């Protein structure tokens, strides 16, 4: 009896793990990359006890108030002569998607990319200290193994250089980066945005060179916005919101390590009409889902009772509630394979066939 119970628990755990993956990935769509996201956002400044870093001037931390920690984080710095409000829109955008974001100013608005790289690394140190500050709402809530950097123009060049200086950085989002003849020998996955009509940092001598000078062994993506100027990536709304969608997908995939974003990102950037140039060299794991691996079809869905199963071979099936309770089981045999759900109340159920899990809606 104990052995039977153990086997049941193990099988149920495996089933629930599988259905959880399916459920999570089903919720990740282009629509889920909206601005704003689903979480409420609050801010922290030095007036609230935030550390005053010596390598930058002034900071605002944007963080989700109703997401589940620990949080991945990103530090963002503006471009040459620009103030933090030039990239301010990225703060609430990322935070509303569950990402802690620190936006900093520079000690001098004329700081060059290397100084901006140091400023970004100092901003990450502020997040580390916030993770241990007793009075902080982010005490113990930051995942220090999931840090990314970003910046616009010279700040984008600085973000690339920060990844060279600190190989623990898990991702780079370079916004129309400016950095001539860059040394970019780093392994941090990087997405580079550029504007086709950028006259300040023309792609041919900046963004494209950044892409080429980043090692081929590094996951990298170049996304040039058609008719875009130098400010096209200052906000997530740039390029008809394509900038925000690609940046968030990249961050979630490589920094937050959520493989559900692999197919979404790949499909979205492929032949995107909003882009005048796309170059990519990245690998990610495409998760198996019902839609892309299964030869089995269940119909109609939703159903009022009987579900038809298009399946060549005979098989066993189990029907589980959303709480993991086994509701029905049996064998599918012969030419006409069906499952009768008439005895069940209207709800969502999971059908398990041949190690595959299908979600089906039962109506009254």
Question: Which residue's entry shows tokens 């400010």?
Answer: 231
Question: Which residue's entry shows tokens 């250089």?
Answer: 161
With H, G, I as helix, E, B as strand and everything else as coil, classify residue 170. Answer: coil
CB 356 within 8 A of CB 294: yes
Task: Please list the alpha-helical segments (H only) found in 251-303.
Answer: 261-269, 290-293
From edge to edge, which strands make up the β-sheet containing 306-310? 297-299, 306-310, 338-340
* Rg of the chain (C-alpha set): 24
Task: Please list the alpha-helical segments (H only) found in 152-260.
Answer: 154-165, 207-213, 242-250
From edge to edge, which strands make up the β-sheet containing 171-175? 41-45, 59-64, 100-104, 71-77, 142-152, 171-175, 190-195, 220-225, 275-281
Task: Please list the alpha-helical segments (H only) found in the chain.
Answer: 2-26, 90-95, 113-130, 154-165, 207-213, 242-250, 261-269, 290-293
Which residue in 281, 120, 114 sits closest to 211, CA to CA?
281
Which residue in 127, 66, 141, 118 sits closest to 97, CA to CA?
66
Residues acting as catalytic residues: 153, 198, 230
d(CA 146, CA 131): 13
d(CA 200, CA 179): 11
């Amino acid at each position: 009896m104990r052995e039977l119970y153990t086997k049941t628990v193990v099988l149920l755990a495996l089933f629930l793990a599988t259905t959880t993956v399916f459920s999570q990935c089903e919720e990740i769509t282009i629509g889920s990359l909206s601005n704003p996201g689903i979480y409420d956002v609050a801010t922290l400044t030095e007036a609230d006890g935030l550390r005053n870093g010596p390598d930058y001037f002034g900071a605002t931390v944007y963080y989700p108030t109703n997401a589940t920690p620990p949080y991945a984080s990103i530090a963002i710095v503006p471009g040459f002569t620009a103030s933090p409000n030039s990239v301010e829109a990225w703060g609430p955008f990322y935070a509303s998607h569950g990402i802690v974001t620190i936006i900093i100013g520079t000690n001098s608005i004329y700081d060059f990319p290397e100084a901006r790289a140091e400023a970004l690394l100092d901003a990450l140190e502020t997040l580390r200290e916030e993770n241990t500050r007793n009075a902080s709402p982010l005490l113990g809530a930051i995942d220090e193994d999931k840090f990314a950097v970003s910046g616009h123009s010279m700040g984008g060049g600085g973000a690339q250089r920060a990844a060279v200086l600190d190989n623990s950085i898990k991702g780079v989002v370079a916004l129309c980066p400016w950095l001539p003849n860059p040394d970019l020998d780093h392994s941090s996955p990087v997405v580079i945005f550029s504007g086709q009509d950028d006259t300040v940092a023309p792609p041919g001598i900046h963004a494209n060179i950044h892409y080429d000078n980043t090692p081929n062994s590094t996951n990298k993506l170049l996304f040039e916005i058609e008719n875009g100027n130098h400010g096209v990536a200052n906000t997530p709304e740039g390029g008809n919101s394509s900038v925000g969608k690609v940046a968030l997908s990249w961050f979630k995939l490589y920094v937050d390590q959520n493989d559900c974003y692999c197919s979404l990102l790949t499909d979205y950037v492929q032949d995107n009409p909003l882009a005048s140039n796309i170059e990519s060299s990245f690998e990610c794991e495409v998760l198996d889902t019902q839609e892309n691996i299964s030869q089995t079809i269940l119909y109609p869905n939703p159903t009022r009772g009987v579900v038809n199963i298009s399946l060549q071979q005979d098989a066993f099936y189990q029907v589980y509630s959303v709480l993991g309770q086994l509701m029905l089981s049996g064998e599918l045999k012969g030419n006409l394979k069906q499952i009768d759900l008439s005895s069940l109340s209207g709800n969502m159920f999971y059908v398990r066939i041949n190690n595959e899990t299908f979600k089906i809606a039962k109506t009254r």
